Amino acid sequence: MITCRKMTAADVADAFEMLRVFLREDEHYLASSEAYGDRGFQGLNNALDLFLEQPELGFVWLAYDEQGAAGVCVVCYAISTSMGAVVAKLDDVSVKVDRRGGGIGTALLEQLKEQLRKEAVTRIDVAVHLENPEARRFYEKLGFMALNEERMACVI
């Protein structure tokens, strides 16, 4: 059974470890990390503190199975002028390598959708690296649609 929940102070170590691995080993993230202004472990620590201190900005969503922490993603809130409502921006979606293919990623996002509906969030936006067709197929299977856009970043 896979259960998901928002990170609390008791879960910070689980979140840190899974996001640390993602930010240091995911080839698609690494291809863009300079443009994102990656600040390493200090940036990750600061982000986790901000999520706990300012939950109105978003949260870290964690998946657990019988072996413990299994998956993670980051959710930030935004306001959509086209929808006139709060939407969610999804980042850093990752399942532990030894647990992939067992439905954890699907449960992570399906349970996230349920949580966001309870919060009256009306859309989830996610970016997929152009050279990551596996991720694209995964999101499409869960109802995401491709946009004719390219995501860009500017560190200020």
Prediction pTM value: 0.93
Predicted confidence (pLDDT) per residue in 68-82, tens digit: 999 999 999 999 999
What's the confidence (pLDDT) of residue 142? Answer: 95
Instruction: Give me the chain's average pLDDT, please.
Output: 95
68: left (phi over 0), alpha (psi -120 to 50) or beta: left
Any idea what DSSP says for residue 156?
-
**CATH code linked to domain 3-141:** 3.40.630.30
Ranges of each domain in the chain: 3-141
The one-letter code for the residue type at 33 is S
The one-letter code for the residue type at 116 is L
